[in-house]
Structure formats: C-alpha cells, structure tokens
Amino acid sequence: MLTKVHMEALSPTMEEGQVVKWLKIEGDSVSEGDVLAEIETDKAVMELVARGGGLLRAVLLSEGGTAPVGEVIAVIAEANEDISLFEKQDQPTSPATTTEDTPLSGEVLAVPLSQPEQSGEKVVAEKGPGLEGQRIKSSPLARKLAEKSGLELQSISGTGPAGRIVRKDIEAALNTQAATVARPIVSVGGPEEYEDIPLTQMRKTIARRLSESIGPVPHFFLTVSVDMSKWTEARSQINRMLDTHGVKISYNDIIIKATAVALKMHPECNAHWMQSSIRRFNAVHIGVATAVEDGLITPVIRNAHSLGLREIHDEVRRLAEKAKNKMLKPEEYTGGTFSISNLGMYGIQEFTAVINPPEAAILAVGSLESGQMKLTMSCDHRVIDGAVGARFLKTLKEILEEPAAGFI
C-alpha cells in the first residue's frame, strides 16, 4: 500500500521543516515506525518516522531542502505500485496559468496535516544546515509590510506554497494571535489549573484602545529598585550548606523562586491574553529567556511555585544545557505563564524586555550593584493595569528584600 511521507509538524509552531539527513535512501526497505529522516524544525532537530511499510520508492525533497508542513516529501510503496503522481519538489515550478485540468489545490496540499510526532526520545543532536544563505520566499506585499513594521522575515514562518511568507503570516506575527496557544499540543495543565475570565466591556475597550495606540501588544513598564543585601547573606548560607553537593544557587534561581511565589499571590499577573478572554493560571510556569548560539529560546520551569530553590536550580541548568544542544522538546519550551529575562550578568543595570505573547508580562532583571538591583516588568495593558502590576512588584520587592516573606 502506498504511504505518503509528509513533512510533519514536529514542533507546535513549526510551519516548515528542513531535511537535515535522510536515514533511508531510495530503494531501502522500510517498516512502520522506522526513522526515515532527521528534520530541523524552527526549534530543534527531530526524527521523522515512517507511518507505513514497504520500499522507500521516492525521496522528493533533498537534504537541505525545506518543505511546508503537510507537503509530501517521500513515498513508501510496494515495488510494483504506480507512484508517477509524485514528482520531485525542488524542481523549479513553471509559472502557473490555470488553463490546465490539474486541480489547483493539488493532492499534495489537500492531504490533512498529520498529528505532530511525539516520540522524541531519540533526538538527533547533529545540527543541520541552517537557513543562512537561503533565500526566504515571501510575497512582495509581505516584504513591504515586514519592512514597514520592522519585522525580520527570518523570524517568520511562511504558510504559503513552498513556505512563502504571505500577508497573513506578517499579520499573524504582528497581531500576536495566540496561534501557538490555540493549538492544544502542549498542555499547560488541566482545566482546574487555570481560570478563564470573560472580558467585560470595559476590559474590551481598554484592550482595543490600547492596541490601537501602541501596537498589537500594548506594553507599559514598571521599574522597582530592590535591596538584595539580605538575600546576599541568605544565599551565602544556603550555598555553604549545599557546598558538599557541588551546587551553587544563583541570584537568578532566587528571583525565579521569589517571582513564582509573588505570582501565586497575584494571579492576575500570571495570565495569558486569549483575544476573547483572559486566562489566569493557578500554576506558575516560568519561562527563562536563554541565549543560544543562533538566537533565543525560553525553556519553561514548570510549577516553579512548588519547587524548592535547589530544584529550580537543577531544572534551570538541565534545560539550559538542552537548549544549547538544540535538544529541547516542544513541551519544554512552551506553555509558560510568565517569563524572566536576566541580563544582569552582562552588567546591564536595567532594561525593558519584550513580552512573549500570549503571556501578559515579563520581568527584566538588571545587574546587582552594591546590593541594589533593578527589576522592570513589561506588562500587557490589556491584561494588567498599572496598579495591578505595581502591587505585584511591591510583593516581589518585599520577598526579595526580606527572605522570610517568601514563606508567608
């Protein structure tokens, strides 16, 4: 029986994938479940497995080639089956006129998208050729819009034919449509773990007016100065206790913990903007912005509110290591309810961070100088009003200035 091998959505946000390496070649015998290829998604290198058995009759996308999710990139069939319908993808396509009988939305695109591959145990670490030097396909209009709104095309995935970036992709990028959240790929938690708050008319008006005023995510910024001298002392004590284990708690770990505790007390800041409602979470999942070689990824410390400092420390290290090796699984970098970006180690005294939608806020952490540290929270005004954000920061400041407060 003929089995089409599609470019599968191997990450929740993946719109297209690049073949790093084919592990089977044309003519190889293939059983269902065999790993066929390594695919680089927008986030990591993943394995593509066969969904049927037979011979790998045709490989339609060469190594290094890119295809949108859903496109047929190989064909598995018996030796005598007719596979003439499938032609090689990376041949130049002739300019289309529509006088032919060929259906305009061809079979290839009509195939429903497969469910994302979940069996990511054997993640291939080898890094595939990146996108550098490759032409990014985009419509002229998309380029114009991107330039106008200061968007980098590299940061956008195209949904048009052959991954072409089109108007709606730019609009999606601008609009912070909660596309990633809308896909129930990585569960943030059961329904009991969050509460959806319907928008009041007033809230709707605030959301609309503020979006019109400043952009799709109406940011505002609150800065507070924190005296960390007590935590400096406490940290030394803790690290002395952990010395035998070779563990050294960082200020960052402390800030994550303190933030989680504060968020638990101020759930209105532990929320997502869902377009038609605001989702407040009971659990606190903190995204920790982490620089990697060619960009930035935000691994998520799940249930940070219920973890001890050492657990947080271990989790941060584990995820940072995986991020560096591009081995993060989708569920490890999605589903955050609040993010922290710390540039203190670079000597940055204070800065503003950009919200990672649909999250409602992000905390920018500056350097520690003479026991003083500045925290700046960027808030999505549609979710968090000034006073609400200020109250949260006040609590956070208290916890950071008085370590015992975290236990109240």
Partner 1 sequence: MAEITYRDALNQALVEEMERDESVFLLGEEVAEYDGAYKVSKGLLERFGDKRVVDTPISELGFTGLGVGAAMVGLRPVVEFMTFNFSFLAIDQLINSAAKMGSMSGGQVTAPMVLRGPSGAALQLGSQHSQACEAWYLHAPGLKVVTPGTPADAKGLLKTAIRDNDPVVFMESELLYNLKGEVPDGEEFLIPLGVADLKREGGDVSIITHGQMIHVALRAADQLAKKGLEADVLDLRSLRPLDVESILESVAKTNRAVCLEEGWSYGGVGAQVTSILMEEAFDDLDAPVLRVTQADVPMPYNKRLEAWAKPNVARLVEACEKVCYV
List, by residue number, the catalytic residues. 381, 385
Q: Beta strand pairing status for 271-273 and 300-301?
A: unpaired
Full DSSP string of 194-256: EEEEEPPHHHHHHHHHHHHHH-SS-EEEEEEEEE-HHHHHHHHHHHHHHGGGT----HHHHHH
Q: Which is nearer to partner 1, 144 or 209 (CB)?
A: 144
Least distance from partner 1 to the Cβ atom of residue 69, Å: 14
Least distance from partner 1 to the Cβ atom of residue 67, Å: 16
Residues 6+ apart with CB under 8 A from 297: 43, 290, 323, 328, 333
Among 10, 166, 262, 283, binds partner 1 (CB under 8 A): 166
Q: Which is nearer to partner 1, 148 or 317 (CB)?
A: 148
Tell me the Cα Rg of the chain.
24
Amino acid at 50: A
Least distance from partner 1 to the Cβ atom of residue 161, Å: 8
Among 13, 114, 159, 282, binds partner 1 (CB under 8 A): 159
Least distance from partner 1 to the Cβ atom of residue 153, Å: 14
Least distance from partner 1 to the Cβ atom of residue 135, Å: 16
Quick note: the x/- pattern for partner 1 over 261-300, rule CB under 8 A, is ----------------------------------------
CA distance 394 to 402: 12
Helical H segments across 95-187, by residue range: 107-110, 140-148, 167-175, 179-182
Footprint (CB under 8 A) of partner 1, residues 96-125? 96-99, 101, 103-105
Can you read off the two tokens belonging to residue 96? 């289309």
Quick note: the x/- pattern for partner 1 over 216-255, rule CB under 8 A, is ----------------------------------------
Stretch that binds partner 1, among 57-65, 161-169, 317-325, 341-349 (CB under 8 A): 161-169
Q: Which is nearer to partner 1, 67 or 360 (CB)?
A: 67
Quick note: the x/- pattern for partner 1 over 55-94, rule CB under 8 A, is ----------------------------------------
Among 5, 45, 48, 142, binds partner 1 (CB under 8 A): 142
Answer yes or no: are the C-beta atoms of 71 and 91 closer than 8 Å. Answer: no
Amino acid at 214: I
Please tell me what DSSP assigns to residue 137: P
> What are residue 5's DSSP bridge partners?
74
Stretch that binds partner 1, among 6-14, 159-167, 295-303, 312-320 (CB under 8 A): 159-167
CA distance 308 to 379: 27
Stretch that binds partner 1, among 31-39, 142-150, 294-302, 343-351 (CB under 8 A): 142-150
280: closest CA among 194, 382, 189, 180?
Answer: 194
Among 21, 51, 137, 143, binds partner 1 (CB under 8 A): 143
Residues 6+ apart with CB under 8 A from 143: 153
Answer yes or no: are the C-beta atoms of 341 and 364 closer than 8 Å. Answer: yes
Q: Is 363 in the site for partner 1 (CB under 8 A)?
A: no
User: Footprint of partner 1 on this chain (CB under 8 A)?
Assistant: 95-99, 101, 103-105, 139-144, 159-161, 166-168
